[in-house]
Structure 1
Amino acid sequence: MLLLPLSACHRISPGADSDTSVKADDWPSFGRTGSEQHFSPLKDITLKTVDRLKLAWHYDLEPGFTVSAPVTGEGKLFTTTGNSFIRAFDAASGKLLWEYDAKTRKIAQSPLHMYYGNKGIAYWNGRVFLVTTDGRVIALDAKTGRPLWQQREYGLNELRNTNGPPRIFGGKLIIGHGGADVSPIRGYVSAYDAMSGKRLWRFYTVPGDPSKPIDTKAEQVSRPTWKGDWFGKGGGGTAWNSFSYDPKLNLIYVGVGNGFPYNPKLRSPGGGDNLFLASIVAVNADTGAYVWHYQVCPQEGWDCTATMDMTLADVTINGKTRQVLMQAPKNGFFYVLDRKTGELLSAEKYAKVTWADRIDLKTGRPVENPGIRYQDHPGMFELWPGPQGAHSWLPQAYSPRTGLVYIPVIEMGALIGPPQPGMVGPAAGIGATMVPDAPLPGSRKSFLKAWDPVKQKVAWQIETPGVWPGGVLATAGDLVFQGRIDSRLVAYDAKTGKQVWSYKTNAPVVAPPISYRVNGKQYITVLTGSGSQGGGILATGNAAYRTDYALPRQVLTFALDGKDATPAFTMPDRIIAPDPQFRPDAARAQTGGMAFATTGCIACHGMNAIGGGAAPDLRYSGVIHDEAAMHAIVKNGALKLNGMPAFPQLSDSAIEDIRYYLRAVALQTAAAGGKPGAAPAGAAAAAAAAKGM
């Protein structure tokens, strides 16, 4: 719904959280409350006391995905690691109380179910809630870890996966899923009764069979925006991450993702905006019925999504209270909407943007730059932000005390163009040629930006290491906490950006910290370890930092005058084994590099085979020197229980090509000194290295 904007002279003053149902001491869900502010009202840890912040307790975790946010309730801290391995701790002492293994790696049938361990869980009313990547919705008894109920959200044979955190809004469990990067599935969001497990409603984010009668308002709005022979060939719209909730308006806000194929001409041959792709949609919390929408990328074609945080706040505009929703989605514009009506109030660039010049405030639509519609133009377009987005799923935070939104911003460009002949694997399906990490001037940077949502400009900013800036926590102590890829947890002055505290960790810190209070004492907790998307297309930009899969990952909890300490840690050396049997073949290295990229290996093992922490760095692995071991792992799933899915569809020759490419990359890295980031080990570079050996 689009209405005329407010004038630029309107001012917003700091406002309170619109969801006051959560006690100040608790952090029961991903963003703490339905407003998703990632803000703690606790203020024992302040600018004056933060120098006393010390480690209170820690717990050593197993290798694997730890880029997830913990939650608290009943004086307990609950964590998830790997593929839905849940632990409960005494939140004050760190004593382990119980463990629950969802056994996802035994059950999963699709590689999608193995990628990207779940990013969070939820606590409510004596229960812990999780959704496994293979689609099981589970409620556990918070006291014992015993399962209370379980439902299956989708079949094991469907090309869907769930890794975003569930939310509990008004006694309802809200979940979405992913999969729209590999299949034209029909995205949807489901609501379950949190006590009984009964499914209450389902909202579809793209229309259904056009031959059937229209039976919902959502279908009435969305169906006319899909044209031509599209049904069964185009789809997407998966809501894989962000949801918000306003209990007073009784609205749930859904952040909707990209379409499949990316190429709109293949997805919807007759044109159209393709609602509700790349949109924010408000639905009735009781029924799931459509209320309003705002689309950030009409006729999405670049992996543009609105699946980033939607921060709610009640603010004052010219003496009148307005209820706003604020989002910094992938596309590089920061949006302020009236969350009651969907009215666009303002939108400005918070990062480098080349796909659009501006957002027209009268129509709410972007003014696109020439050439961005690659399906209509030859050659490659320099796309900023690239498919990783200017802001990914790692959350922003909002402080009602400062009125600022703290955004972890990625500055990376890409090249995009029409599809090329001979493309295979997932890359062929999107209908476009994409170089997601192009070596462009000014690319591969990241920032923590304090954004003034009224002036629509930066209040202050800090350049952060690498290109995978951690999730953010803001507190009433006027502090902003953020982890970094260089293995530090840092606190800043929320008003000025001055660094006031830091702690050296043994592994990168990219998960969002949380804050809670037990027995009158405030704590800060974060899980360490890289992984998730940072192990894929962002790995090149993080190559200067050690993000090893096997680095000691931990639960770290801090408090004023804490007395704990972790054992001394020395970063282990990485050795590339000699490969005397290797024979140079540039063409084969090129073929293997393309197979490594297009079959999805980069998702976990990193762009250009540079490990990003989600899985072992194969340049340093002995497996690439053992043909039988490589085939047993890749084709037959010998390490499935370790999180490595099987790829039975790959031919023996394709696996050998990939193995050859990895050997070439390893030798190239060794020739460059074996240091992190020493060699840009892309397919072309590996081919050149092979040719020159």
Structure 2
Amino acid sequence: MRLRLLAAAALLALAGCGKSVSPPATEGVTDAKILAAAEGEWLSYGRDYGEQRFSTLTAINDGNVSQLGLAWSADLDTARGQEATPLMHDGVLYTTTAWSMVKAYDAKTGALKWSYDPQVPREKLVEVCCDAVNRGVALYGNKVYVGTLDGHLVALDAKTGKVVWKKLTIPEGSHMAITGAPRIVKGRVLIGSAGAEYFTRGYLAAFDAETGNELWRFHTVPGDPSKPQDGKYLEAAVKTWSGDFWKRGGGGTVWDSITYDPKTDLVFFGTANAEPWNPAYRNTDGAGDSLYTASIVAIKPDTGEYVWHFQETPEDRWDFDSNQQITVADLTIGGKPRHVIMHAPKNGFFYVLDAATGEFISGKPFVEGINWAKGLDPKTGKPDVNPEAKYELTNKPFLGFPGAVGAHSWTPMSYSPKTGLVYIPTNNTPQVYAHDPEWKPGTTGFQLGIDASAGNLPPDQAVRQATAAAMTGALVAFDPVTGTIKWKVPQETPTNGGTLATAGNLVFQGTALGEFRAYAADTGKQLWSFPAQSGILAAPMTYMIDGEQYVAVMVGWGGVWDVSAGKLVTKRITPNISRLLVFKLGAKGTLPTAPEEVKRVLDPPPPSGTPQQLAIGMKAYTNSCSVCHGSTAVAGVLNPDLRHSVALGNPKLWQEIVHDGLLKQNGMVGWKGQFTPEQIEAIRLWVVMRANEDKKLGAH
């Protein structure tokens, strides 16, 4: 009865203020169906509006999960990271792959029904921080919605995959991209964008699900202070910035978390870091909190009107995005029922806030070793920042924990009302931050204002092995009421997959090293595993057809850890074998034999170059090229390892590629607006030196 009343209220609210929206869907996926979160289907990114990622299905449980087997699999046609959560409606499984492609499968048999390729230009990759990934679709009525890497929102016919409408949502010519999954709220498609490492201004926007017309746009940071702002909330935010920050956009992009709460009729979303990272180059006239970056913001879905905000990392200088999943729940705290949101952002503290008001309830560490802050104020939640962490003021490198990968990144957590625990994929990845006094805004690649070369590792195997040993992960079961860790499963590497909790007392998670696992939700005991052959970043989902429960997960290594850290600080790394895997009890399916790794021998030209050239090359490579080609010129599995480049001994070809953009159709655009030919030659000379160093070490 309560669900029916809530559904009726949600439908009546469709006549709310703001631009008119098309009538609600009456067939296919409706508001009422999303609200009810039908037991056997998975209709929204986090299954329900509250993004709990908890399934009430119990056919697969802690007593029989050992009998789980591969029902079917589908090879994917992209060799990049896979981060999507599939959706299932009416027997059809909808998912996205890298490069924003969409696939529709028969959820029972795996037969491909249709596919869609938006044909994203490969040169767009230079404007994407962390691989050409996509986290999934949204369903509404008889349409499937996807955000594309080049900034379009596309509506597809759910039966055929044909384009119904397509809209460019990012400003023309901007460095923004879309990697996140859209959300549907009362006939509105909500989507933001990525790009806070570039000169961009963040926003969340709503589009009419039927027509694609834009209904409202909520900017997360102010514009030019000399001009009228879009609302009082931005007039207040202007006071927390200084200097000419707006000329560099400000950052604060909304690249992932979007949660709707029918009980309060609010949309909650997280925002990314301020841009540039280094406050010395955005708050040039003095310190300021840089609102509304690194924050949770609550707005009204009908109009985009501001309601409240809570800033988790004021004046963020460490890339502590707050874009991680926001989960709504009803908890008993201090003997009283509280309707709350729960959040585990990059900065390492687990926040519990009042959903209606944003009041700070608690904030406790969910990882050990946090050193950027001494703790949070118990009343306000404001961090007590370690003075040494303000690297732009000390002008000394700061080894910070967490690093920019975050104590918890985008990989979704899940919450089980049965156990009262939140299951969080955590990372142990410190990072060196250093002020760059010579930094100047460029035109291509990251624009951070820091000198990342302070974190380069020497050609010393012992140092590298010790660094790799320190880079680990864990699956943490966190009690949001007590603020304590109930149990923890240590993991060999960071950036393991998202989680799924079920009423069968199970937690499912994939690992970076290629295992898909099931744990007992109450104790953390591992009950089952499957060798997936490739690293798993995505979160699993589950559904039921004809009385049988299925569990599905996207497989395919990539993402930020591969493209930035590469193989240098990872003890082991899996190849990319992109697939969709679907399991059920008693199934006996198998995968083809995985190909053996081919180890390439380093054979660089002799080292040359003056010390000055090598220093220029090191700094330029580290602050720009390492984003794709790996720390200290050691790449991962996705992008070319420049130590093996055929152009390494050919200065002319190197210039044609790096300066002129000879390979832009492969994603390698020209950098002539960022670097001079002399700097590009210096990069080549430094990579030659690095290749020779590693050859002496016996590395490959």
TM, length-normalised to structure 1: 0.88
Residue identity opposite 2:302 in structure 1: D
Q: Give the length in aligned residue pairs.
A: 653
Aligned counterpart, 2:109: 93
Aligned counterpart, 2:619: 594
How much does 1:673 deviate? 3.6
Which of 449, 454, 478 is the equivalent residue of 1:431?
Answer: 449
- Matching of residue 421 in structure 1 with residue 438 in structure 2: yes
How much does 1:276 deviate? 0.7
Aligned counterpart, 1:476: 503
Aligned counterpart, 1:614: 638
Q: Which runs of 5+ in 1 are unaligned?
A: 1-17, 676-693
Change (3 A) 1:437 1:510: farther
Residue identity opposite 2:411 in structure 1: L
Aligned counterpart, 2:37: 22
Change (3 A) 1:19 1:194: closer
Aligned counterpart, 1:7: none
Q: Is the 8 A contact 1:532 1:614 kept in 2?
A: no
Q: Is the 8 A contact 1:535 1:605 kept in 2?
A: no
Alignment of 1:346-495 (within 5 A): 346-351=362-367, 352-421=369-438, 429-434=447-452, 435=454, 443-495=470-522
Aligned mates of 1:437, 1:105 — CA distance in 2: 32
How much does 1:102 deviate? 0.2
How much does 1:381 deviate? 2.4
Aligned mates of 2:38, 2:64 — CA distance in 1: 23
- Matching of residue 552 in structure 1 with residue 595 in structure 2: no
Q: Is the 8 A contact 2:414 2:422 kept in 1?
A: yes
Residue identity opposite 2:214 in structure 1: R
Change (3 A) 1:125 1:667: farther
Which of 258, 262, 268 is the equivalent residue of 2:273?
Answer: 258
Residue identity opposite 2:637 in structure 1: G
Which of 477, 500, 503 is the equivalent residue of 2:530?
Answer: 503
Residue identity opposite 2:213 in structure 1: K
How much does 1:292 deviate? 0.7
Q: Is the 8 A contact 1:337 1:346 kept in 2?
A: yes
Aligned mates of 2:304, 2:213 — CA distance in 1: 15
Greater displacement, 664-673 / 118-127? 664-673
- Matching of residue 574 in structure 1 with residue 599 in structure 2: yes
Greater displacement, 234-243 / 647-656? 647-656
Aligned mates of 2:637, 2:65 — CA distance in 1: 30
Secondary structure in 1 matching 2:619: helix
How much does 1:108 deviate? 4.4
- Matching of residue 561 in structure 1 with residue 577 in structure 2: no
Aligned mates of 2:122, 2:197 — CA distance in 1: 24
Aligned mates of 1:449, 1:383 — CA distance in 2: 21
Greater displacement, 559-568 / 278-287? 559-568
- Matching of residue 605 in structure 1 with residue 605 in structure 2: no
Aligned counterpart, 2:546: 519
Aligned counterpart, 2:261: 246
Q: For each residue in 1:435-491, what CA deviation from the matched residue of structure 2 results, as whole angstroms up to 9, or x when unmatched?
A: 568878783121111111111111111111212222111112111111112111111
Secondary structure in 2 matching 1:225: coil
Alignment of 1:239-318 (within 5 A): 239-268=254-283, 269-318=285-334
Aligned mates of 2:400, 2:317 — CA distance in 1: 11
Q: Is the 8 A contact 1:542 1:612 kept in 2?
A: no
How much does 1:35 deviate? 1.1
- Matching of residue 226 in structure 1 with residue 241 in structure 2: yes
How much does 1:123 deviate? 2.1
Secondary structure in 1 matching 2:357: coil
Residue identity opposite 1:358 in structure 2: G
Secondary structure in 1 matching 2:603: coil
Q: Is the 8 A contact 2:565 2:635 kept in 1?
A: no
Which of 148, 151, 173 is the equivalent residue of 1:157?
Answer: 173
Secondary structure in 1 matching 2:39: coil
How much does 1:586 deviate? 7.2
Which of 134, 137, 140 is the equivalent residue of 1:121?
Answer: 137
Change (3 A) 1:107 1:445: closer
Change (3 A) 1:467 1:609: farther
Q: Is the 8 A contact 2:197 2:446 kept in 1?
A: no
Aligned counterpart, 1:59: 74
Change (3 A) 1:146 1:638: farther
Aligned counterpart, 1:684: none
Change (3 A) 1:523 1:358: same
Secondary structure in 2 matching 1:613: coil
Greater displacement, 265-274 / 319-328? 265-274
Greater displacement, 198-207 / 533-542? 533-542
Aligned counterpart, 2:30: none
Greater displacement, 506-515 / 243-252? 506-515
Residue identity opposite 1:475 in structure 2: T
Alignment of 1:161-172 (within 5 A): 161-172=177-188
Q: Is the 8 A contact 1:56 1:562 kept in 2?
A: yes
Change (3 A) 1:619 1:465: farther
Aligned counterpart, 1:330: 346
How much does 1:155 deviate? 3.6
Q: Which runs of 5+ in 2 are unaligned?
A: 1-32, 458-462
How much does 1:537 deviate? 3.1
Which of 209, 218, 221 is the equivalent residue of 1:206?
Answer: 221
Q: For each residue in 1:173-215, what CA deviation from the matched residue of structure 2 results, as whole angstroms up to 9, or x when unmatched?
A: 11111222121x3211101111221111111111233233456
Secondary structure in 2 matching 1:219: helix
Aligned counterpart, 1:31: 46
Aligned counterpart, 2:207: 192
Secondary structure in 1 matching 2:387: coil
Aligned mates of 1:215, 1:83 — CA distance in 2: 33
Q: Is the 8 A contact 2:67 2:586 kept in 1?
A: yes
Aligned mates of 2:60, 2:203 — CA distance in 1: 41
Aligned mates of 1:187, 1:463 — CA distance in 2: 35
Secondary structure in 2 matching 1:99: strand
How much does 1:221 deviate? 3.2
Secondary structure in 1 matching 2:237: helix
How much does 1:287 deviate? 0.7
Aligned mates of 1:97, 1:148 — CA distance in 2: 17
Aligned mates of 1:379, 1:77 — CA distance in 2: 51
Aligned counterpart, 2:697: 672
Change (3 A) 1:424 1:135: closer
Q: For each residue in 1:26-54, what CA deviation from the matched residue of structure 2 results, as whole angstroms up to 9, or x when unmatched?
A: 22332122211122221111111111101
Aligned mates of 1:534, 1:451 — CA distance in 2: 24
Residue identity opposite 1:289 in structure 2: E
Secondary structure in 2 matching 1:536: helix
TM, length-normalised to structure 2: 0.87
Secondary structure in 1 matching 2:313: coil
Secondary structure in 2 matching 1:232: helix
Q: CA RMSD in A?
A: 2.7
Change (3 A) 1:394 1:624: farther
Aligned mates of 1:653, 1:216 — CA distance in 2: 47
Aligned mates of 1:640, 1:91 — CA distance in 2: 38
Aligned mates of 2:490, 2:537 — CA distance in 1: 15
